[in-house]
Amino acid sequence: MLHHEGSSFHPLAPSALRIEHLLDRAPAQVDVDALRAHLRKQCVMLTGAGGSIGRVLAKKLLDLKPTKLILVDFSEFHLFRLEQSLRKHNPDIELVFKLVDVRHTTAVDQLLDEHAPQVIFHAAAYKHVPMMEFHPVQAFENNTLASVNLLRAAEQHSVEQFIFISTDKAVDPSSVMGTTKRLTEWYVRAANGTMRTKTVRFGNVFGSLGSVVPTFIEQILEGGPVTVTHADMERFFMGVDDACCLILQTLLYSTAPVFTLRMDPAVKILTLAQRMIDVLAPQKDIPIKFIGVRAGEKMREQLWSANETPLTTPHRDILGLNGPAIFSRLELDERIDFLQALAAAQAQERLKTALFEADFVAQTS
């Protein structure tokens, strides 16, 4: 929950603002010794390594000392910045930086053939909900098709574990971004062979690029107004350290196909905005402006669907989510082929409609 108004609180520089300053919840912690033992002599690959989560996760992976860490990103700038940051930290671990678009199957196949990773963390994705409403082809190709191609390649190259980073927006989705993540969750669940596949489902990652927190900081420093979509809109929040803990700790668990963090209660965006104003500009009268719910957004998110059952895990902050597999691999392959044809034809609106058709079996059989 948010700190009460009577809590002792001191103004902070924006760069020092952290989730624990606004929520009464300490960051989740990983079992470092168990993870080091698990990753010892392992080659690990991380996609989206230059993003908000990827950069922090890469540093935490270095601390766990795998034999080799392959860091993949499609952004030249993000990959360069990551390399500059990591090279000086741990020279005794083999670091490989690869500028690769995971949508390209040949490049992915060559990458796995050359380095033979045993563990893949797949974090690369488009995540901006309103923007993806207007770019369904790009959302499908980057969030779903690239993930499918990477998973298929991982199966062919005998990868041991494949961990997919998803979002609460995949639960009963109202957005294109959410539907692309939901479809990928289904596909990860239906993987072939002996490879262990898991999905970790995030809430809103506090302070990540493009998220509400950096936007609010910028608006507060400019004197406002701070733009809030709706007075009653709520979100689940987690810190970057929480997100990395969830991803890493899940390596040790096999009791459920999906894992998520305990993030109750959800936080009203309006309350978050008010609290950030109190922290960053306590002596100023910063106005708040309501701008209306944007395309694809829900008033409230869910961490699991009606057919999923939350289960405890050995970690107090992590829940497993168990439920039936929705579709078979054959059904999903047929659907992916259908959607890929629409994407190839740049049929934006038809593809957008098709992504929401969860009962697609009759249409593809």
Give residue 6's pLDDT. 32
Give residue 21's pLDDT. 61
pTM over 0.85: yes
27, two tokens? 């960051």
Give residue 286's pLDDT. 95
45, two tokens? 């690959």
Instruction: Please state the separation of Cα 295 from the chain's center in Å.
Output: 20
Give residue 154's pLDDT. 98
- In the set 98, 127, 169, 352, the catalytic residue is 169
- Distance between CA atoms of residues 228 and 103, nearest Å: 35
Q: Per residue of the chain (365 residues), what is the pLDDT tens digit?
A: 333 333 333 334 444 566 666 666 778 889 999 999 999 999 999 999 999 899 999 999 999 999 999 999 999 999 999 999 998 776 688 999 999 999 999 999 999 999 999 999 999 999 999 999 999 999 999 999 999 999 999 999 999 999 999 999 999 999 999 999 999 999 999 998 899 999 999 988 876 766 788 899 999 999 999 999 999 999 988 888 899 999 999 999 999 999 999 988 888 999 999 988 988 898 899 999 999 999 999 999 999 999 999 999 999 999 999 999 999 999 999 999 999 999 999 999 999 999 999 776 544 44
If residue 342 lies in a helix (H) or strand (E), which one and from where to where?
A: helix 329-344
Give CB contacts under 8 A, 24+ apart, made by 90-94. 90/62, 90/63, 90/65, 93/62, 93/65, 93/66, 93/67, 93/68, 93/69, 94/67, 94/68, 94/69
Q: 127 an active-site residue?
A: no
Give residue 364's pLDDT. 45
Give residue 239's pLDDT. 85
